Chain A
Amino acid sequence: ETGVTQTPRHLVMGMTNKKSLKCEQHLGHNAMYWYKQSAKKPLELMFVYNFKEQTENNSVPSRFSPECPNSSHLFLHLHTLQPEDSALYLCASSQDHGGPGELFFGEGSRLTVL
């Protein structure tokens, strides 16, 4: 138990569906992150939020839409995805973005796009 909870753990969706991934952290952290891990590829940083404000978007397609309503919650809204978007999506949090504290990761949401 890392203090970062992701739901759902598994999701299967069609290319025309709209779904959302949810992340919640109980650590009192101010920064939250979305990473993507495709099969046999390194983790890729997607988005960074610091004090609820998006500070980084690493050229992520618009079919992925993040939302951070408060420092404890982070969502990734999914719309019109492609089969190549199938991956493990990992949420993480840290005390502050870019600070010395380590990142705490959730268990991930495994997404399959049919």
Chain B
Amino acid sequence: DAKTTQPPSMDCAEGRAANLPCNHSTISGNEYVYWYRQIHSQGPQYIIHGLKNNETNEMASLIITEDRKSSTLILPHATLRDTAVYYCIVRDYGGSQGNLIFGKGTKLSVKP
């Protein structure tokens, strides 16, 4: 079972920041937080991951709370092409612990 809780859907205006929350209150010390997204009928795409510190790359920023029980993915300037289902996944490394187990994710709709 997925170890994360995400809102089923969110809307965002084009050009504004999209902030997608994720709750992972049972995360263990060795588990990383990963974010993937899936645009309609395509394969999931890796976005970003982190352990404790906030992370930023060309796609997004990841903010992890100090207690690591929740995180937020930020798309700074959402475009229509960012409309997708966003998955927050916690995973450890090593064998089966490193499997990506997907939940239902958050369906983000970016509107003009």
Contacts and interface: CB of A to CB of B under 8 A. Distances in A.
B97 A88 contact: no
Nearest to A105: B43
Contact of B99 (A45, A100, A105): A45
B43 A42 contact: no
Interface string A21-43: 00000000000000100000011
B104 A42 contact: yes
Query: Which of A45, A56, A100 has the largest number of chain B CB atoms within 10 A?
Result: A100
Q: How large is the interface on B (under 10, 10 to 19, 20 to 34, 35 or more residues)?
A: 20 to 34
A97 B92 CA distance: 11
A107 B98 contact: no
Given A92-B44, A99-B93, 13 more contacts: A35-B102, A42-B2, A42-B103, A43-B44, A43-B102, A56-B96, A98-B93, A98-B95, A100-B32, A103-B46, A107-B42, A108-B41, A110-B41
30 contacts: A2-B43, A2-B45, A4-B43, A42-B2, A42-B102, A42-B105, A43-B102, A45-B100, A45-B101, A55-B95, A90-B43, A92-B43, A92-B44, A92-B100, A98-B93, A98-B94, A98-B96, A98-B98, A98-B99, A99-B93, A100-B32, A102-B46, A103-B44, A103-B46, A103-B100, A105-B44, A105-B45, A106-B43, A107-B43, A108-B43
